[in-house]
A and B are shown apart, each in its own frame.
Chain A
Amino acid sequence: MGECLPWPTCDKVARIMSAGSRLSTWHPVARAADLRPGDNIAAGFAQGQELALWRSADDAVQAWENRCPHRSVRFTLGQVVENRLACAYHGWQYAAGSGECLHIPAHPGMPPPRNVCAKVFSVAEAAGMVWVSLEEAAPAAPPRDDAVPAKWSFCRTLTVRAEAAVVREALAARGFTADGSSSAVRGALDGIDTVALVLDARLRLAFIHLWTDAAPGSDAMKALHIAARILRSGIEASQPAS
């Protein structure tokens, strides 16, 4: 315990992932409220793809490959400037939506070459979450807004050192069931009504976004936080040592 997981480079993971099939699906990568307009950049993952998640000043959520096309430095080190993302290394600025490079500070008088473009993924907001598709063409149907019941509260995102399939099995073993129409599963942890959204982050790493009908600050919410940690310990303890 306590030892670091190997951190495969994202191209290596992408190769492993593409050996299987990338499901045509929406991945719940982050809580929508955690991306503030014109402000922060969050690191995200989906099936081994590293993402830079941010929101433009005019409130359009963005999910980009976490890599500047110039020298491959992670965009998450950069900053949001209005409706642009600026790389931390050389200040190159890219447009929300298209990912097109709009400004190269080293050559302020030169229009950036048209082919300089951040890789942009399809993204949507629903049920209080940000959803990303890794496909060229996003799934025809948007993510369902009823994946989490209205007026429920966010508990936490749990990172679990296990495959997403193992996490889903563990939740099923604890009585969680899918409603058949969304990627959410619903059940109870320590008797508290909970919806779990499982994200296949990368090799041997899954995220579980937990929502509940318990009120923020309530005893039930505190109990759910404890139950979540026990859930994680249980899943990770059942993993073969890597």
Chain B
Amino acid sequence: MPFITDDANMLNDWLVAGPAAALDNTSEAAPRTARLLGEVLCLWRDAAGAPQCRLGTQPLAVQARHGYLWVCPSGQPARPLFDFPEYGQPGRRIIDCGGIGVAVSGLRVIENFLDMAHFPFVHGGILGQMPHTEVAAYQVQVDSVTGEIWATDCRFWQPRASAAHGSGSEVIYKYRVMQPLTAMLYKSSSRAGELDAIGLFLQPLDDEHVIAHTLLACYDDTSTDAELIAFQHAIFGQDKPILENHAFKRMPLEGRAETPTRGDTSSVTYRRWLRERGMRFGVRQAA
């Protein structure tokens, strides 16, 4: 078996391998390459417009959905790719913010994405601000049908919550973890009663490296694409040095190496959810 892991959580799932638009002007003779689980894949669009994928001479299962390419390394996906109903909703702007490499286990990146407590410290003046540091209680559940984690009723005081928000306010968040390396967040938008959706899809290069793809499905009548992308890059640029300075690049799921506190319900649930599915990829083995 090629690939650097035998963890079925990776091999039998749909893993993102870059934006679908990257296959424009490709062919079997002139494919695009993408790194995944220690291998380099060739991807192209055939004459009928369907995405194709190959590792060496071996064809791999691939589909284009939600604006991205998804590859199943084993060809035997344990479940279909998650739904993303907001992707096609009229009025939403769909913006691919590009892929950013991060030298850490993808599990750390998802955990960071689910975390509000770091806002005043890592994103001070934007997503949080002293002295508004308190994380109020919120709800976390695992959906019995889809198996996805949902964190709801999350609220946090923000001085400037998005490119469209000019002034400070308490912002409502919902979080959703679809797969070990994909998550969405939903937050108050500029349109009353509607939530912006931001997807974080991690392309696993190996246990300690990912490419983080961020997708916006948002309501914004004023900002340019460049402004919206710049905002996401500014936020991600603040998280990246923190993420790359975990003393253990892989995430511990067992033992007492790390200590959660009351507001870490999302993290605690995510780690338990990973433990229950026997996750080993990107996981630090207990000492």
A→B interface (CB under 8 Å):
9-11, 50, 66-67, 69-74, 76-77, 88-91, 104-108, 110, 112-113, 115-116
Chain A residues closer than 8 Å to B252, beta-carbon distance = 72
Contact B122 A10 (CB under 8 A): no
Whose C-beta in chain B lies nearest to the C-beta of A104? B261
Contact B245 A105 (CB under 8 A): no
Determine the main DSSP class of A at the interface with B: loop
**Contact code string B224-267 (vs A, CB < 8 Å = 1, else 0):** 00000000000000000110011111001000011111110000
Report the bound CA distance from A206 to B120 in whole Å: 38
Known interface pairs A106-B134, A107-B134, A108-B134; A72-B248 also in contact (CB < 8 Å) = yes
Contact B248 A70 (CB under 8 A): no
Report the bound CA distance from A116 to B262 in whole Å: 13
Q: Which 9 A-B pairs have the closest CB atoms?
A: A105-B133, A106-B117, A67-B247, A106-B135, A106-B263, A74-B245, A91-B121, A72-B247, A90-B117
Chain A residues closer than 8 Å to B261, beta-carbon distance = 70, 104, 106-107, 112-113, 116
Whose C-beta in chain A lies nearest to the C-beta of B241? A77
Known interface pairs A105-B117, A105-B120, A106-B134; A70-B258 also in contact (CB < 8 Å) = yes
Distance from A4 Cβ to chain B, minimum over Cβ atoms (Å):
13
Question: In the complex, which residues 108-130 of chain B have their Cβ closer than 8 Å to any Cβ of chain A?
Answer: 111, 117-118, 120-122
Report the bound CA distance from A88 to B134 in whole Å: 16
Contact A69 B259 (CB under 8 A): yes
Distance from A242 Cβ to chain B, minimum over Cβ atoms (Å):
20
Distance from B132 Cβ to chain A, minimum over Cβ atoms (Å):
10
16 further interface pairs, Cβ-Cβ under 8 Å (given A77-B245, A108-B134): A67-B248, A69-B259, A71-B111, A71-B258, A73-B247, A74-B247, A88-B121, A90-B117, A105-B134, A106-B133, A106-B134, A106-B263, A107-B134, A107-B135, A112-B261, A113-B259
Contact B120 A91 (CB under 8 A): yes
B→A interface (CB under 8 Å):
111, 117-118, 120-122, 133-135, 241-242, 245-249, 252, 257-263, 287
Whose C-beta in chain A lies nearest to the C-beta of B117? A106
What are 14 A-B contacts defined by CB distance under 8 Å? Answer: A70-B258, A70-B260, A72-B247, A74-B245, A74-B246, A74-B247, A77-B245, A88-B121, A89-B118, A90-B117, A91-B121, A105-B117, A105-B120, A106-B135
Whose C-beta in chain A lies nearest to the C-beta of B135? A106
Whose C-beta in chain B lies nearest to the C-beta of A91? B121
Report the bound CA distance from A104 to B122 in whole Å: 15
Chain B residues closer than 8 Å to A11, beta-carbon distance = 248, 287
Contact B259 A73 (CB under 8 A): no
Contact A116 B134 (CB under 8 A): no
Contact A110 B262 (CB under 8 A): yes
Chain B residues closer than 8 Å to A10, beta-carbon distance = 247
Chain A residues closer than 8 Å to B111, beta-carbon distance = 71
Distance from A48 Cβ to chain B, minimum over Cβ atoms (Å):
12
Chain A residues closer than 8 Å to B245, beta-carbon distance = 73-74, 76-77
Whose C-beta in chain A lies nearest to the C-beta of B121? A91
Contact B247 A9 (CB under 8 A): yes
Report the bound CA distance from A23 to B256 in whole Å: 27
Report the bound CA distance from A116 to B257 in whole Å: 11
Known interface pairs A73-B242, A104-B261; A66-B120 also in contact (CB < 8 Å) = no
Contact B122 A88 (CB under 8 A): yes
Contact B257 A72 (CB under 8 A): yes
Report the bound CA distance from A17 to B49 in whole Å: 56
Contact A107 B246 (CB under 8 A): no
Known interface pairs A73-B242, A104-B261, A108-B133; A89-B121 also in contact (CB < 8 Å) = yes
